[in-house]
Structure 1
Amino acid sequence: MPADTDIASDDSTLTFGQRVRRARERNGLTRPVVGGLVGRSAEWVKAIENGRLNTPRLPLLLRLADVLGVADLAELTGDERVSAASYTKAAHSALPAVRQALTTYRLGGADEEPEGVEELLSRVSEAWQLWHGSGEHRTRVARVLPDLLGDLQHAARALEGAGRRRALAGLAQTYHLAQLYLAFQPVPELVTLTGDRSMSAAQDADCPRAIATAAWYMNHVFREAGERHEARVDLAMKAAALLRPDADVEDRALWGLLHLAAALSYAKIGQRGNAERYWDRADAVARSLGDDYVHPYLVFGRRMVDAYAITVNADLVRGHRAVSAAERVDLASVPSATRRSFHLIESARAYRLQGEHVAVVHLLRKALETSPETARFNLFARSTVVELADSPNAVIRDDVRYLTTKLGMPTAA
């Protein structure tokens, strides 16, 4: 099909190349960006879309699906028997319990006294500590999420005035935790649900900080769902406008966080100038807060902004700059095992752009050791291990086998 021909609306008639083009355009990605992120050229992407090249082998197909934000390979291949979920998305053992908590409502009577707001907010803070701690953070958070959600929902219904608004702000934070728990699992509809509920609770609380935090997490939801870039940036900037960055330290941190969200959004669609401009604003805020400042649960601060420079440059397909950023950042001082593991995986992604597979495998092992459940549920880590299983490089062979086992990956045929 010629490149400029409209894509047919009937899914059953679409070719593989037409499906790739549809997913690419839905995410606002250019051919050079997609090609760079999968280790191929823009001409390769064009040849795929125009049908001059056949469907690639599974490892490359998985990488392409990851870059295009496609959860099921059937969306690209048209074959409902082929799903990417087993290769690129794992399901946590407690997922059914968390799903039930999100779709069940405790309709307590008027005489049922809610727990005190201070006690509830203390439980929210403890849940965030579980998330950022080392070890099985998803498993630990899943144990407390159902009851915490139910108790906060009841308090928000039963209380009035300032107490109700504080309970709602705590509920918004708990929905953020649920969203993080659900991320990278095969339940995109629940990720969207928790993002929407967190924003609704934040707005009902009439709390600019809660709204700003919800906007940060909704940006992640939008990127995962392939929502248009303009909506992501518009939401972040509208939320930032509600803050008082010159009058309050936390407001300033959240203002910087939302500009970081805009930088990540621009980088995702390959707009280098805007990505750098918004990242510079976030960087200036982090520097103004000092090297020792770290937001208590969002972890915004000097090291977080430095680490996200890896992601920004990797998304812009600037491998050398991404590797340089990875070499400069001090991840050991980031007070979150989940964050350290994530940024180690992003460092691996930077080295992958440079074709340095030994470094990729080393960093993935280090990420797994730092926070096992972060690595197990990361799409790049899982799809890369599948890809490297076919590598003829004997140096990494044993490590790839180890990662395949520890990440719970099936063996590709």
Structure 2
Amino acid sequence: MVAPDLPIGDRIKRYRGERRQDVVAGLAGISPDYLSQIERGLKVPSLPILYAIAQELGVPAAALIADTAAPSTTHPDTSEPSIVRVLMGFGPPRSDPAADPTLLRQRVEGAWRGWQSSGTRFTDVGQILADLIADVEHAARAHRDAGGIGARREVMRVMADLYFLLRSYLRRTGRVDLSMVAADRAVRAAEEADDPLRMAAAQWNLGHVLLAAQEPDGAEEVALRAVEQLRAAPMTEVDRVAMSGALQLVAVVAEARRRNWSAARTRLRECAAPAAEQCGEGNIMWTVFGPTNVVLHRVSIEMEAGDTCEALHVADEVETTRLPSMERSFTFALEVARCHSLRREDAAVLLSLRDMEGFAPEDLARTPLARELILTVIRRGRTMHARQAEKLAERIGVF
């Protein structure tokens, strides 16, 4: 079995196995160099050649045709169907008494901790989100007409935090469309709770959805408007600075997505970095904002700008063990691996990938860029590197 999105060249190489390339090429009536180019993704075989190769490999021609024409840069849909169903319909009607808001908060915070720290977070959170959504929505309905305004507001705070989490889960499982729905519900819940900090966090989440939807202009507008609103919002100065800094990072990413490298660097240096230094390491509203996260964004900018030497130089100064989010550590390691790949340093790519497999195996298996990096090592790496990459591909389900 091979993954449905595996390119044709990688499928041919996979089915060829230990058979010599020149032997298969000769029997298929093509040159070894041409078969090599096909396997490396540099050439696309015609149908007659594809049939000839399939015949020599002893597999149906359909087995060599990928379900998608090229590797996708977006996540495949891997969300739990039960979560999607309850999101769209709030689950079955419930006649039981509503859960206590304090208990709901404990459950949501526990889910958030698992999402940020567990190497099997997709499985863990996927098993509890559907019931959690249903219980929180049920509590919101039960307190709608109740006399306790305080309890209603607390339920809305819990709901906002839950939909922040759901936004992240749906985005990472390939449902950007439903991630937008979750972000919108978080905005509404935060507004009804009349909680300025959560209202700003809701805009931060919305900004990330817009970035995922390839709308950097909208993301930047949302983030900077929220920064302005925070200036007069009642809250502690530490919370204001930290949340403003997290929003500035959304604007930094938006600038980078538009390839405005200078503007991205300037905003990072003049807006986000001072805020991080002032408030220190933290996790305000689960944003993981602090000096380390700011440096990680600097690595991302330099990598996207094509200066892999500078990106790796900056990365050498980073210590991710202080981060409360495993996801952010994974993203950083993935970007370092990509830098090494661009420099054709396959041994370093493999080292990074195996490290990621150790602490975030589910993220590694679900991330298109990680899969592409593995296939790149297989295509161009030395025999030893290619074999190690093939074994890794087997373990995470690429093959």
Q: TM-score, normalised by structure 2?
A: 0.76
Aligned to 1:19: none
Counterpart CA distance in 1 for 2:198 and 2:99 is 21
Matches within 5 A, 1:179-198: 179-198=167-186
Distance change >3 Å, CA 266–CA 199, structure 1 → 2: same
- Which consecutive residues of structure 2, in runs of 5 or more, have no partner in the other structure? 1-36, 43-64
Aligned to 1:283: 273
Alignment equivalent of 1:122, drawn from 106, 124, 127: 106
Shift of 1:390: 1.0
Give the total of aligned pairs.
334
Matches within 5 A, 1:98-247: 98-106=83-91, 108=93, 112-159=96-143, 161-227=149-215, 229-244=216-231, 247=236
Distance change >3 Å, CA 403–CA 211, structure 1 → 2: farther
Distance change >3 Å, CA 208–CA 133, structure 1 → 2: same
Aligned to 1:353: 342
Aligned to 1:407: 396
Aligned to 2:31: none
More off after superposition, 131-140 vs 215-224: 215-224
Counterpart CA distance in 2 for 1:58 and 1:166 is 57
Give the number of the structure with larger relative contact order, counting CA–CA contacts within 8 Å between residues 6 or more apart.
Answer: 1
Counterpart CA distance in 2 for 1:87 and 1:207 is 36
Counterpart CA distance in 2 for 1:302 and 1:167 is 32
Aligned to 1:72: none
Aligned to 1:372: 361
Shift of 1:318: 2.1
Deviations 1:233-256 (A, max 9, x none): 110011122224994212211110
The answer to whether the 8 Å contact 1:173/1:198 transfers is yes
Aligned to 1:95: 80
Shift of 1:393: 2.1
Percent identical among aligned pairs is 26
**Residue 249 (str. 1) matches residue 238 (str. 2):** yes
Aligned to 1:263: 252
Aligned to 1:12: none
**Residue 300 (str. 1) matches residue 270 (str. 2):** no
Counterpart CA distance in 1 for 2:359 and 2:81 is 26
Q: CA RMSD in A?
A: 2.8
Distance change >3 Å, CA 241–CA 397, structure 1 → 2: same
Deviations 1:6-43 (A, max 9, x none): xxxxxxxxxxxxxxxxxxxxxxxxxxxxxxxxxxxxxx
Aligned to 2:378: 389
Question: Secondary structure at 1:390's aligned position in 2?
Answer: helix
**Residue 318 (str. 1) matches residue 302 (str. 2):** no
Shift of 1:103: 1.6
Query: Given residue 398 of structure 2, which amino acid in structure 1 is its aligned partner?
Result: M
The answer to whether the 8 Å contact 1:115/1:151 transfers is yes
The answer to whether the 8 Å contact 2:201/2:285 transfers is no
Shift of 1:312: 2.0
Shift of 1:260: 0.8
Deviations 1:350-401 (A, max 9, x none): 2233332221221111112111112122221012222332114234213211
Counterpart CA distance in 1 for 2:230 and 2:151 is 22
Question: Secondary structure at 1:299's aligned position in 2?
Answer: coil
Shift of 1:408: 1.2
Deviations 1:36-88 (A, max 9, x none): xxxxxxxxxxxxxxxxxxxx979779xxxxxxxxxxxxxxxxx9963668896
The answer to whether the 8 Å contact 1:107/1:154 transfers is no
The list of structure 1 runs, each at least 4 consecutive aligned residues, that deviate by more than 4 angstroms after superposition, is 56-61, 83-88, 106-109, 244-247
Distance change >3 Å, CA 262–CA 404, structure 1 → 2: same
Question: Secondary structure at 2:284's aligned position in 1?
Answer: coil
Deviations 1:223-242 (A, max 9, x none): 22122x22111100111222
Shift of 1:105: 2.1
Shift of 1:211: 2.3
Q: TM-score, normalised by structure 1?
A: 0.73
Query: Given residue 298 of structure 1, which amino acid in structure 2 is its aligned partner?
Result: T
Aligned to 1:29: none
Aligned to 1:82: 68
Distance change >3 Å, CA 88–CA 276, structure 1 → 2: closer
- Higher-Rg structure is 2
Aligned to 2:24: none
Aligned to 2:62: none
The answer to whether the 8 Å contact 1:326/1:347 transfers is yes
Shift of 1:148: 1.1
The answer to whether the 8 Å contact 2:346/2:381 transfers is no
Distance change >3 Å, CA 258–CA 377, structure 1 → 2: same
- Which consecutive residues of structure 1, in runs of 5 or more, have no partner in the other structure? 1-55, 62-78
The answer to whether the 8 Å contact 1:236/1:261 transfers is yes
The answer to whether the 8 Å contact 1:345/1:381 transfers is yes
Question: Secondary structure at 1:284's aligned position in 2?
Answer: helix
The answer to whether the 8 Å contact 1:307/1:331 transfers is no
Distance change >3 Å, CA 231–CA 201, structure 1 → 2: same
Deviations 1:246-304 (A, max 9, x none): 942122111100001111110112112220122121111111123x5443632212222
